[in-house]
Amino acid sequence: MSKYKILIKYTIEFIVIVSGVSASFLGEEYREGLQNENERIKALNNIKIELDEIDTYCEERKNNYVKDRNVLKYLLGNPDYAFDTIDNLVQSSPGIAFALNDYREFQPPMNRYNSIINEGTIKFIKSDSVKQQLSELHNTFYSYLNSIVDDEKVIQQKLSFYLAENYPKVILLETYDTEKKTYYNLLSKAVNNDEILKALIYTKYRKMGIKNYFLDGYVEKLIALRNKIEITLINQ
């Protein structure tokens, strides 16, 4: 066999080998790209599902926040007509007592988001905007809201201590699910004759208003992010 034919033979073999290796790399690259895309879609779908759950949670929280705040509003108002309004807001004396003597936390479902962060699958989401909005929602705005809840908790502790020290009968009556009118009359008399108690209730009322304001902002951010993810999934 001539040197020329040998050269042709080895050249062809080389091309076949290189082509095979290249095809193998391309195939592996394609499979990896497909897997990454599947992980991206899975992550976005999980986030969207959880955003829907958080939205439902926030709606329930807002309804209760507003109800609790309105109870305090009418306690601070004219005692001659406030009871009828409060009577429509809550089902029992503990309902009045809860608004006065307790607080509601803000702990939306975040398990899916935490899993995506802890497992590192956040890297499959290509959009820096989506990742930034996720971080703002679950870190920045979440922290804002809970700092307000913490402030309310401090006021709540002061209010509960003051009631226990100065109006133990109010605390005792709420325990026994006293008839609402009886409980309200006792409480209303205390509020309208004690400027310190009224000031503590008003401070809590104001903190609850700030909490509602931040909750509205949180929900706005949530809806904007959810809309962006929905568009991303439609256009994939």
Which segments of 72-214 are extended strands (E)?
Answer: none
Compute the distance between CA of residue 75 and CA of residue 42 in angstroms, rounded to an integer. Answer: 50
> What residues does each domain of the chain span?
3-234
Condensed to tens digits (0 to 9), the pLDDT of residues 152-183 reads 999 999 998 998 899 888 776 665 555 777 77
pLDDT digits (tens, 9 = 90+) for 173-229: 665 555 777 777 788 888 888 999 999 999 999 999 999 999 999 999 999 999 999
Q: What is the pLDDT of residues 92-151, one digit of tens each?
A: 556 677 788 788 899 999 999 998 888 888 888 888 888 999 999 999 999 999 999 999
Tokens describing residue 38: 């599947």
Residue with tokens 């439902």: 56
Q: How far apart are CA 41 and CA 61, in angstroms?
A: 30
* 54 vs 212: CA distance, rounded Å: 16
